Amino acid sequence: MTDTTPHRHPLRRTIRSVLLRLLLVAGFGYLLLVLLVHPSNQRDWSPDQQRLATAEFDGDSVLVRNVRNAHYRSTSDYDVHWEDRRYDLSQIDSVWYVVEPFASWRGPAHTFLSFGFGNGDYVAISVEIRKERGESFSPIWGLLRQYELTYIVGDERDLIGLRANHRHDDVHLYPMRATPDAARALFVAMLERANALAAEPEFYNTLTSTCTSNIVDHVNTIAPEPIGFSFKTLLPAYSDDLAYDLGLIDTDLPRDQYRAAYRINELAAEHADSADFSKAIRAGQRN
């Protein structure tokens, strides 16, 4: 009698065995990384990230140390000034979401928040990798515990001007729907996180701890309905679409118009040296 029982192809068994071994090796290698590679605040940092922002709270007042206010001649030629600035938390009245796509294909982007005060002041907070001198970002290295995480607190002429006027990336500045109390809670939460990182450093992770994922985590602590997982936070050039769909952007413009309406590059270039830079880049915005 002929045996008609199908036999598993030996090549398939070999491939499965090889893949299993590769997964085991990769898992063991990552475990070694976790055990042997630890975050540190003591490295030879890039000049624009040498200092860590910290905050000292006293009722409605907060003193933020090491607010960055760099002046750029180019992306590699700049003077960094670190300032201590005091803010009145009772005067926070707005939150702004900044999206900077930086690739020829839509997907990769940097995102950060800026906070407005009743006296006309603005201050931005940007979650970034903390670069060592001469270091640049790689998403692969970002998976392998190679970059510490930092919260840069900075002047808008620094954080926005750098991206719009020197990197020449598109920059979109979106007004967010947030009550003053929610804006204050978000600002305080981000400053408290900066304090925590100054005391105990953490690693950036390309998938789990990025500029956008940390913003989402902060928003979820104050939002009535948490923002769920979305690929648009993994590819943050789409994150403004997510914010638009959730009604977080304070606009009545249709989907096909809102992004162009909040692109500020021309205004940022025109008012690069203006004392009223923050006011100027918001001039004429349509809601």
Q: Is the pLDDT of residue 7 over 60?
A: no
- Each residue's pLDDT tens digit, 160-192: 999 999 999 999 999 999 999 999 999 999 999
Tokens standing for residue 16: 């499965």
pTM over 0.85: yes
Return the bridge partners of 152, or none: 126
H/E stretch holding 268: helix 265-270
Q: What are phi and psi of 136, to 5 degrees?
A: -130, 165
Average pLDDT of span 126-144: 96
DSSP string, 151-208: EEEE-HHHHHHIIIIIS----EEEEB---HHHHHHHHHHHHHHHHHHHHS--B-BTTT
- The closest alpha carbon to 150, from 196, 117, 118, belongs to 196
- The closest alpha carbon to 122, from 287, 285, 281, belongs to 281
According to the model, what pLDDT value does residue 166 have?
98
Q: What is the chain's mean pLDDT, rounded? A: 92
According to the model, what pLDDT value does residue 27 have?
61
Task: Determine the distance from the C-alpha atom of residue 59 to the mean position of all C-alpha atoms in its chain, rounded to a whole number.
Answer: 28
Average pLDDT of span 129-146: 95
Asked if 166 and 125 touch (Cβ cutoff 8 Å), the reply is: no
Tokens standing for residue 151: 């919260």
- Each residue's pLDDT tens digit, 152-167: 999 999 999 999 999 9
72 Cβ contact partners less than 8 Å away, ≥ 6 residues apart: 78, 158, 161, 162, 165, 166
Q: Is the pLDDT of residue 29 over 70?
A: no
The dihedral built from the CA positions of residue 43, 126, 220 and 223, taken in this order, carries a sign that is: positive
Least confident of 36-40, 144-148, 193-197: 36-40
Confidence of residue 24 (pLDDT cuts 50, 70, 90): low
- The closest alpha carbon to 94, from 222, 15, 184, belongs to 184
Tokens standing for residue 206: 């390309």
- Each residue's pLDDT tens digit, 66-101: 999 999 999 999 999 999 999 999 999 999 999 999
According to the model, what pLDDT value does residue 16 have?
74
- Each residue's pLDDT tens digit, 195-222: 999 999 999 999 999 999 999 999 999 9
